[in-house]
Structure 1
Amino acid sequence: MQTRYDLILGSRRFSNYLWTLISFSGGIGFLLAGLSSYLGVQLLPFGNTETIVFIPQGIVMTFYGTIGILLSLFLLLNISLNVGGGYNSYDKSTGAIQIFRLGFPGKRRKILLQYKIQEIKSIKLSIAEGLNPKREIYLQTKDQRQIPLTRVGEPLLLSQIEEEAVELANFLNIPLEGL
């Protein structure tokens, strides 16, 4: 096998779909409760909004509802654009490494980094445990640049990230740092 291709999952993760649904539902609920207090009409199919006074409670609920809906629209935009998604391609026959990621619309929507295997010093594994654990694999070049190869989001299992780093280092026949 001369080529290795790793697909990187971007914003199209289950957690983003879940948070989009939760923030949209909550936003609609708060917005309808705030509008109900302003209009004096029961817009929510459940609950009683007759006791909510528009100033200050209703206006705050309307504001929170609007923010919740805007947040869900932002998450939906991220999901539809697949921000952060892409691939890592390693081709031993040509000696080329390609790292491709999608970003936000604009001049730099598509990011493509290309390296020769000879430019790579090592594969670096960075592990930090604690409240916010960090488990990442980096491609370290000879001029000391570190290019992240792992996806952003929930950290992988320690055994899984170690195995992935070892497999990549063995495939590229370069040293592994950080173990």
Structure 2
Amino acid sequence: MQNEIRQDKIVGSRRFSNYFWSLVLFVGGLGFLLAGLSSYIQINLLPFTNSIELIFIPQGVVMIFYGTLSLAISFYLTLTLFLDIGSGYNEYNKIENLVKIIRKGFPGKNREVLLTYPFSNIRSIGIKITEGLNPTRSIYLCLKDERNIPLTPVQEPISISDLEEEAADLAKFLDLKLENL
């Protein structure tokens, strides 16, 4: 039974880069907000600089706007980290002849996303590699109706050899052909 079911864990939003950017945006946003407020109330709220010298209109207003925006994005990132959006697993079950893709979403009636595909609807396993400014390296489940379902999470690109090895292992496990998209 162990060799009949394969589960691949998917890391969601709980990655180091998201923790880092959430903290940077919070600290930067708080600094901008306090600097803008300091220029309005004429009391220095930041001990390491003299924000009173800023003219409230337009500099203070812009600082408050950017600080608020940065804090809102930081809050959103922290919320996605807390809820672990995008995490889940891919299950390949030879007993039931099904591929199940399970992911966590935002709270609500569709909090957990469950996609199931019978083996009879699967054409192949595909690999897509794009280089350039925004490189992507992904493995896809290619269906007979020409849909391509991504199996790998959004992440830093892994090496091409690791991607090919992972895709080849999956294609061998499911007894499917491997194709380049």
Q: For residue 171 of structure 1, report the CA deviation from its aligned partner.
A: 0.7
Alignment length (residue pairs): 179
Q: One-letter code of the match for 2:148?
A: Q
Partner Cα distance (1:137, 1:77) in 2: 28
Q: For residue 99 of structure 1, report the CA deviation from its aligned partner.
A: 0.4
Partner Cα distance (1:77, 1:47) in 2: 31
Show the counterpart of 2:70. 68
Q: Percent identity?
A: 55
Partner Cα distance (1:28, 1:94) in 2: 53
Show the counterpart of 2:127. 125
Partner Cα distance (1:113, 1:107) in 2: 15
Show the counterpart of 2:160. 158
Partner Cα distance (1:112, 1:136) in 2: 20
Partner Cα distance (1:56, 1:10) in 2: 40
- Report matched runs for 1:30-179 at 5 Å: 30-178=32-180
Task: Give 4+ residue runs of structure 1 displaced > 3 Å after superposition.
Answer: none
Q: One-letter code of the match for 2:99?
A: I
Q: For residue 50 of structure 1, report the CA deviation from its aligned partner.
A: 2.6
Unmatched segments (≥5 aa) in structure 1: none
More displaced, 100-109 or 84-93?
100-109
Scaled by the length of structure 2, the TM-score of the pair is 0.94
Scaled by the length of structure 1, the TM-score of the pair is 0.95
CA RMSD of aligned residues (A): 1.2
Unmatched segments (≥5 aa) in structure 2: none
